[in-house]
Chains A and B, each alone.
Chain A
């Protein structure tokens, strides 16, 4: 898990229109056939993604759900969650 400080500085760079650096993006896990999930814990909302992951450092390849998304690239090529960056593959055909 990144520190809030680190997360904020990444967030700031995205505000300036910058994506994750090549160094960060290249080894990032790939999430394919992904869906968007809105989660509600007693009014505390989060959005996360679920899909087929590959190349994740601590999760086996296969279906997986991410931690809360902080920034989703407008062209849906990558997403930053509170713990890491994912490269995004194809979005799943049917939402939920």
Chain B
């Protein structure tokens, strides 16, 4: 199929995406390279074989790498494009790192170097649109590989992309998020209708739930992802990697959408507070569900047959906040194992973590179908070995380490800021002196660097300082 596109009006590396096999990509590129070099009266290096199957892999790889170098050094646009295209032949899905230099320029060109077809013939326009979609689909497969999703694969990137974008393999596209809603003009910005139709039984449904029928509910947008990260780094200097992972999919100006994340770390490392702070900074409501404490399993909702109706936790989070994408945080999710009810908690969480099922969740509590697919799910755990794998597989696992003594000065500043916020009398305290930090540090080490304990230690130190200070 690749031949149809050779004359297409976009750069060589982008065109190369449409090659179905590595060998095809190789011969196509070899030919292009020869033509380009001949036009400039340059010779093709003779260590690049005509038929790649005749050369040993290591020899071939070396020849390609030196070709990439020499092409990049020609100082011309055409050879730069060739160099980049050859680099695409060196990627290895088993080694995501080999994609790092390739993806940024490739994606940039796919986005900005596609000439809009102004052909008057409708047919040509349709073809071009189709081609564009195919290129974007293949590019997404390349990105997934760069993200390490094909580490177990044994075929070339070209093969993977060709197979994964066959019409049958392309999944259902994300349903579009309504950017405006004709019935509810008062909601500004992106929004989504969570309850499209009334349930079978609307009688007896509390009014605040009835109001949700057909109502567009706001999606909270992240204005500046880098600024959000910056705020969190300052407060959690020991967890910068965790913050990066937790916030990595956020986009400026887009609704906040986190992949389900499971924060794993020792008690006191500040996992729950980190999630709550993320919510606060984003203006996103955080609904906390404590798996260790709540014995009755109402996460998935409870039908009215049992006295009072209980909508599911994600539905309640949406209804309470009137945000379509609040954070639902299940704290200490592994503790659920201690209670017999709670095999059920894990079970009832799974449908919410899948886009397909959460987009049409039949909520027993209000007897209606809800679109809860925009709700953000975060769980915390001290350990994960007891979690069943169906649940574990649906989360991105993020380790939150304990802070160390090295983080004490930065953390102490934050704790003092918190204390000052709660208590005006603390607003003008002098910063902690070195000897005070020293004492706190030793006591803190005995408490295994718990963030909670640190707060108490700092408060106690300030109290002691007050007691010793000469009275005015």
Contact = CB atoms under 8 A, between A and B. Distances in A.
A39 B100 CA distance: 13
Contact of B103 (A14, A42, A47, A65): A47
Interface in B113-140: 139-140
- Report which residue of A7, A11, A14, A17 has the largest number of chain B beta carbons within 10 angstroms of its beta carbon: A17
Interface stretch (B74-82, B197-205, B297-305, B420-428): B74-82
Contacts, number: 109
B84 to A, nearest CB: 8
A65 B231 CA distance: 12
Given A17-B75, A40-B143, A67-B226, A74 B233 contact: no
18 contacts: A11-B108, A11-B112, A14-B80, A17-B79, A17-B80, A36-B97, A37-B244, A38-B248, A41-B254, A45-B103, A45-B139, A45-B140, A45-B147, A46-B251, A63-B240, A70-B108, A71-B104, A72-B101
Chain B interface size range: 35 or more
A51 to B, nearest CB: 9
A94 to B, nearest CB: 9
Given A11-B108, A36-B100, A64-B230, 6 more contacts: A8-B112, A15-B84, A18-B75, A59-B230, A64-B233, A65-B229
A4 interface: yes
Nearest to B233: A63
Interface string A66-79: 11111110100000
B102 to A, nearest CB: 9
B109 to A, nearest CB: 8
Contacts of B96: 38
Nearest to A75: B101
B374 to A, nearest CB: 11
B75 A16 contact: yes
B257 A41 contact: yes
Contacts of A46: 107, 251
Interface string A16-52: 1110000000000000000111111111111100100
B264 interface: no
Contacts of A50: 240, 244
Given A11-B108, A47-B104, A70-B104, A65 B244 contact: yes
A-B pairs, 7 with minimum CB distance: A15-B80, A45-B143, A38-B147, A63-B240, A41-B251, A69-B104, A63-B233
Contacts of A60: 230
Nearest to A37: B248
B146 A44 contact: no
Contacts of A7: 112
A71 B105 contact: yes
Contact of A47 (B81, B100, B234): B100
B237 interface: yes
Contact of A16 (B76, B234, B244, B249): B76
A23 to B, nearest CB: 20
B143 A38 contact: yes
A50 B254 CA distance: 21
- Report which residue of A47, A59, A64, A95 has the largest number of chain B beta carbons within 10 angstroms of its beta carbon: A47
Contacts of A59: 226, 230
Contact of B100 (A12, A62, A63, A72): A72
Interface in B131-162: 139-140, 143-144, 146-147
